[in-house]
Structure 1
């Protein structure tokens, strides 16, 4: 699985790169803040919400520490999506937060 460090994702966000981020944390975790413009789809609902995900877009998957987002990557890859995991998750995020 291809991975990015949070610092790499911060640079992409700050440069307004055409990145798509999906945050798979639970509602209460996301309420504390998420990466700006990230789409929130809890991991447990991801398989049921594939119609919300563009198969032509590459996604960076995010969770608290990198474990759940790794499982999300495996699920999406199995369905043919291009995904990368943010290793270290929001615990290592040093960029802006959107609430």
Structure 2
């Protein structure tokens, strides 16, 4: 899924699989943080009826997680280009601790 398409979605579950330093530097508003290594243990936190979009810095790690979710019956897609592509399109990142503008780490 392209960043501009994601911005127009309101029913999607956005799952950020990045590491702590990346997450705290800046996240896409509305994203839920689930480390890659924790995703399998936290599947019950996701609604099967709603589509899932996974995100990381470049889209590589999150692509694997989208495949993982799809194999388990979720309707999952990857955010093409990750938060890097998101910010390149002028879309906002926010620091989760204070909602101030964030950055790609």
Distance in 2 (alpha carbons) for counterparts of 1:79 and 1:20: 16
- In structure 1, runs of 5+ residues without a counterpart are none
* Residue of structure 1 in register with 2:93 after alignment: 97
Q: Give the structure 2 partner of residue 74 of structure 1.
A: 67
Where structure 2 has 5 or more consecutive residues not aligned to the other structure, the ranges are 96-105
> Which aligned segments of 4 or more residues in structure 1 are displaced greater than 4 angstroms?
none
- 3-state SS of paired residue (1:72): helix
Identify which of 32, 35, 39 aligns with 1:39: 32
- Give the structure 2 partner of residue 86 of structure 1: 79
| Structure showing the higher strand proportion among its residues | 1
Confirm whether residue 49 of structure 1 aligns to residue 46 of structure 2: no
Displacement after TM superposition at 1:19 (Å): 2.3
Alignment pair present for 1:65 and 2:58: yes
C-alpha distance in structure 1 between counterparts of 2:22 and 2:2, whole Å = 20
Residue 22 (structure 1) aligns with: 15
Q: CA deviation at 1:44?
A: 1.1
How much is the aligned-residue C-alpha RMSD, in angstroms?
A: 1.3
TM-score normalized with structure 1 length: 0.85
By how many angstroms is 1:80 displaced? Answer: 0.3
Secondary structure of 1:93 counterpart: helix
